[in-house]
Each structure stands twice: as structure tokens, then as C-alpha cells.
Amino acid sequence: MNHHDHHHHHEQGESEVTPVISYENGVITIELYDQHHKAPELDVSHEKEMHLLIVSADLETYYHGHPVKKSEGIYTLAKPLVDGYYKVYVDIAPKDLNYSVAPITLKVGEPAEEYHKPQLTVDTELVKTVNGYTAELTPRSFKANEEITLHFDLKGATPEPYLGALGHVVILDESGETYIHVHPVSNDQTKFDAMFTEPGIYKLWAEFQFEGQVNVYAYVIDVQ
């Protein structure tokens, strides 16, 4: 498999696979159906059949997990969630079927307040430190409809390969409707090509692994 693909899954045409999400007793269940109500076959993408991204409605909490196949078309992931609203993204590559990742709203328990769109504050500082490792994001300004190379300067540290790549970047727009998942442009650089089709506020999460631990760096950017 070519690891330099952009892996956007923005295929043309209707999505031919429908994921259904449920949550009970700390376990998320994902059921997959094709247009004939059968379980689709999945290609392995970055060492896993399924990547599940869970983001709280305010885009503050972020989690990237890998559900386990229980039976045909049914996957589960143990992940206790506090009461609230979440957006869930099922990132899969079904064999011979069109699929595009779309947010699924998940309500857990009895949230204290109604669901509302987050108000993100754009970062003035694009240097983040997690567990003693620093990542600085360049460029400083971002334009829509241009191929942009996101470069993460890890200040001399080298991340360990994680899920078949040096890192992973997930990008959401403020409403959580636009989902972009990109991988490095090469096996030895923490650079990622991305394209923003609309101006607006976006939040991106970069994942790099050091000493066996995955660090997540979050940035809020303004795309002009």
C-alpha cells in the first residue's frame, strides 16, 4: 500500500456503507451495512480495519481508537464516556464500495445542556508541548483552496512509527461536518499535505508517538 496517499476517502458518488453507532455500559458498538443490508468487507488501512474518532461536541475531548471485529459487520470498542454529546467518525476503506466519512452524533447519558455548536478560539501560539515533547506548526497563515503543507517541527525529536506512519493528523471544521485525515508526505518527514475547500475556523489534532506513548497536539487555526 502506498503510504503517501492522502487517504481522504472523498470518493465520488453516494456513500454505499452506513455505520450505525450505539453506546452502552462503556462500550461503543459500530454496525456496518452496505446498500443490500449486508456486512461490507473492509481493507486494512494503516494497520487497522477501522479507525474510530470520537470528539466531544465542544471539540475539546479527542480520542482515536481501533474497534475490534466481533462478527460480520459488527465492531466494538471499550471506551467509557462522560455524559454529553459527541461526534463520531468511522474511518474505513470498504472493498469496492464508495464511502465518505460523515459525523454521527452520539448522545451519552443525560447531558446537562442541549447540544450547541462550539465556539473555538483561534490559537495565537502554534507551539504545543505534551509530555515534554514540543511540536510547532507552520505555516502561520492558511488559505482555502490551496494545497497546504502542514509542517510539525518536533525540535530535534524523532517520533516512532505509529500505525504505519510517522504521524497522523485529523482536521475538523468548527461544525464538525468536514472531516480530513491525512498522513505524512514521506516516511521520514513530519509534513502533511492538506486542502481546505472552505474558509473558516478549523481544529486539528496531530498524533506523534514517543517512548511508546502517543501524544496528541491540538491547534485551532483560521483558514482565510
Print the SS3 string covering the chain: CCCCCCCCCCCCCCCCEEEEEEEECCEEEEEEEECCCCCCCEECECCECCEEEEEECCCCCEEEECCEEEECCEEEEECCCCCEEEEEEEECEECCCCCCCCCEEEEECCCCCCCCCCCCCCCCCCEEEECCEEEEEECCCECCCCEEEEEEECCCCCCECECCECCEEEEEECCCCCEEEECEEECCEEEEEEECCCCEEEEEEEEEEECCEEEEEEEEEEEC
Are 100 and 132 in a shared domain?
no
Residue 66: inside a domain: yes
Residue 183 in domain: yes
How large is the average pLDDT for residues 72-83? 97
pLDDT range class, residue 116, cuts 50, 70, 90:
confident
CATH code of residue 147: 2.60.40.1220
Please give the pLDDT value at position 2.
35
Last residue of a domain, one of 108, 142, 168: 108
Task: Give the rounded percent of residues in the chain with a pLDDT score beyond 90.
Answer: 88
Q: Is residue 121 part of a domain?
A: no
Residue 3 lies in a domain: no
**What integer pLDDT is reported at residue 12 of this predicted model?**
54
Question: Is the predicted pLDDT of residue 198 greater than 50, yes or no?
Answer: yes
Total number of domains in the chain: 2
Cell representation of residue 67: 474497534
- Examine the domain organization and report whether 25 and 58 are in the same domain: yes
Clarify whether residues 97 and 131 are in a common domain: no
pLDDT at site 14: 85
Q: What is the pLDDT of residue 5?
A: 38
**Domain assignment of residue 7, yes or no:** no
Domain boundary among 108, 138, 172: 108
99 domain-assigned = yes
pLDDT digits (tens, 9 = 90+) for 152-184: 999 999 999 999 999 999 999 999 999 999 999
Which tens digits make up the pLDDT trace of 86-114? 999 999 999 999 999 999 999 999 998 88
Domain shared by 85 and 160, yes or no = no
Q: Which of 2-16, 31-45, 118-132, 145-159 has the lowest mean pLDDT?
A: 2-16
Q: Tell me the pTM.
A: 0.91
Same domain, 79 and 137: no
Residue 114 pLDDT: 81
What's the domain range around 51?
17-108
133 lies in the same domain as 78 = no
Q: Which of 75, 108, 141 is the last residue of a domain?
A: 108
Q: What is the C-alpha R_g of the chain?
A: 17
Q: Once rounded to an integer, what is the mean pLDDT over residues 35-52?
A: 95
pLDDT at 180: 95
Q: Assess whether pLDDT exceeds 70 at residue 1.
A: no
Residues 123 and 22: their CA atoms lie apart, in Å, by 34
CA separation for the pair 38, 53 (Å, rounded): 24
